[in-house]
Amino acid sequence: MADEIQARAPESGAPQQQSSGPGPRGPRSGGGPGGRGKFFRRKKVCKFCTEKIDAIPYRDVRLLQQFVAERGKIVPRRLTGVCTTHQRRLTRAIKQARNIALLPFTTRH
Protein backbone atom coordinates (compact mmCIF):
# COMPACT_ATOMS: atom_id res chain seq x y z
CA MET A 1 0.00 0.00 0.00
CA ALA A 2 2.81 2.39 0.82
CA ASP A 3 4.42 1.52 -2.52
CA GLU A 4 1.25 2.53 -4.37
CA ILE A 5 1.14 5.96 -2.68
CA GLN A 6 4.79 6.66 -3.50
CA ALA A 7 4.31 5.65 -7.13
CA ARG A 8 1.37 8.05 -7.58
CA ALA A 9 2.80 11.16 -5.86
CA PRO A 10 5.77 12.85 -7.58
CA GLU A 11 8.64 14.08 -5.49
CA SER A 12 8.14 17.67 -4.41
CA GLY A 13 11.85 18.55 -4.59
CA ALA A 14 12.33 17.55 -8.25
CA PRO A 15 11.58 20.20 -10.90
CA GLN A 16 8.76 19.34 -13.26
CA GLN A 17 9.50 19.17 -16.96
CA GLN A 18 7.50 21.39 -19.25
CA SER A 19 6.65 20.37 -22.77
CA SER A 20 8.65 22.01 -25.52
CA GLY A 21 5.61 22.15 -27.82
CA PRO A 22 3.17 25.04 -28.26
CA GLY A 23 1.57 26.55 -25.19
CA PRO A 24 -2.09 26.39 -24.20
CA ARG A 25 -2.97 29.05 -26.77
CA GLY A 26 -1.26 27.32 -29.67
CA PRO A 27 1.86 28.25 -31.64
CA ARG A 28 2.98 31.84 -31.58
CA SER A 29 2.40 33.99 -34.62
CA GLY A 30 3.76 37.25 -33.25
CA GLY A 31 6.32 39.57 -34.73
CA GLY A 32 9.33 37.54 -33.62
CA PRO A 33 11.73 35.74 -35.92
CA GLY A 34 10.00 33.14 -38.04
CA GLY A 35 6.52 34.41 -37.17
CA ARG A 36 4.29 36.70 -39.16
CA GLY A 37 2.79 39.72 -37.44
CA LYS A 38 -0.92 40.36 -37.48
CA PHE A 39 -0.69 44.02 -38.41
CA PHE A 40 1.32 45.87 -41.02
CA ARG A 41 2.44 49.26 -39.77
CA ARG A 42 2.74 51.81 -42.57
CA LYS A 43 5.65 54.23 -42.31
CA LYS A 44 4.39 57.65 -41.30
CA VAL A 45 5.08 60.46 -43.73
CA CYS A 46 5.62 64.08 -42.76
CA LYS A 47 2.49 66.13 -43.46
CA PHE A 48 4.48 69.29 -44.04
CA CYS A 49 6.88 67.66 -46.51
CA THR A 50 4.08 66.13 -48.59
CA GLU A 51 2.14 69.42 -48.73
CA LYS A 52 5.41 71.36 -49.25
CA ILE A 53 4.85 73.73 -46.32
CA ASP A 54 8.11 75.44 -45.35
CA ALA A 55 6.99 77.96 -42.73
CA ILE A 56 4.60 76.83 -40.01
CA PRO A 57 2.49 79.86 -39.01
CA TYR A 58 1.88 80.25 -35.28
CA ARG A 59 -1.48 81.95 -36.05
CA ASP A 60 -2.95 78.84 -37.71
CA VAL A 61 -4.61 77.39 -34.62
CA ARG A 62 -6.44 74.59 -36.46
CA LEU A 63 -3.19 73.25 -37.84
CA LEU A 64 -1.38 73.48 -34.51
CA GLN A 65 -4.18 71.82 -32.53
CA GLN A 66 -3.66 68.61 -34.50
CA PHE A 67 -0.23 68.32 -32.90
CA VAL A 68 -1.26 69.17 -29.34
CA ALA A 69 -2.71 66.43 -27.13
CA GLU A 70 -5.97 66.80 -25.24
CA ARG A 71 -4.16 67.72 -22.04
CA GLY A 72 -2.05 70.39 -23.79
CA LYS A 73 1.17 68.47 -24.39
CA ILE A 74 3.00 68.60 -27.71
CA VAL A 75 2.66 65.21 -29.40
CA PRO A 76 6.05 63.58 -30.17
CA ARG A 77 7.13 62.96 -33.74
CA ARG A 78 7.10 59.17 -33.38
CA LEU A 79 3.31 59.43 -32.99
CA THR A 80 2.62 62.15 -35.57
CA GLY A 81 5.14 61.12 -38.22
CA VAL A 82 6.50 64.65 -38.69
CA CYS A 83 10.14 64.88 -39.74
CA THR A 84 12.77 66.31 -37.39
CA THR A 85 13.08 69.77 -38.93
CA HIS A 86 9.34 70.31 -39.11
CA GLN A 87 8.88 69.02 -35.55
CA ARG A 88 11.29 71.70 -34.31
CA ARG A 89 9.46 74.40 -36.26
CA LEU A 90 6.13 73.04 -35.07
CA THR A 91 7.26 73.12 -31.43
CA ARG A 92 8.42 76.72 -31.81
CA ALA A 93 5.10 77.72 -33.42
CA ILE A 94 3.07 76.01 -30.67
CA LYS A 95 5.07 77.80 -27.98
CA GLN A 96 4.58 81.14 -29.72
CA ALA A 97 0.84 80.52 -30.00
CA ARG A 98 0.70 79.66 -26.30
CA ASN A 99 2.52 82.85 -25.33
CA ILE A 100 0.03 85.08 -27.13
CA ALA A 101 -2.92 83.02 -25.80
CA LEU A 102 -4.02 81.39 -29.05
CA LEU A 103 -3.46 77.92 -27.57
CA PRO A 104 -3.89 76.92 -23.93
CA PHE A 105 -0.94 75.72 -21.87
CA THR A 106 -3.09 73.12 -20.11
CA THR A 107 -6.73 72.09 -19.90
CA ARG A 108 -9.07 73.12 -17.15
CA HIS A 109 -9.88 70.53 -14.51
Question: Could you tell me how far CA 83 lies from the centroid of its own chain?
Answer: 17
94 lies in which domain range?
47-99
Query: How many distinct structural domains can be found in the chain?
Result: 1
CATH number of the domain that 53 lies in? 4.10.640.10
pLDDT one-digit tens code per residue, 50-106: 999 889 999 999 999 999 999 999 999 999 999 999 999 999 999 999 999 999 998
pLDDT one-digit tens code per residue, 3-62: 555 555 555 555 565 555 565 666 655 555 666 667 777 778 999 999 998 899 999 999
- Is 40 inside a domain boundary? no
- Is 56 inside a domain boundary? yes
- Is 36 inside a domain boundary? no
Pair 79, 73: CB distance under 8 Å = no
Please tell me the predicted confidence (pLDDT) of residue 41.
Answer: 75
- Is 83 inside a domain boundary? yes
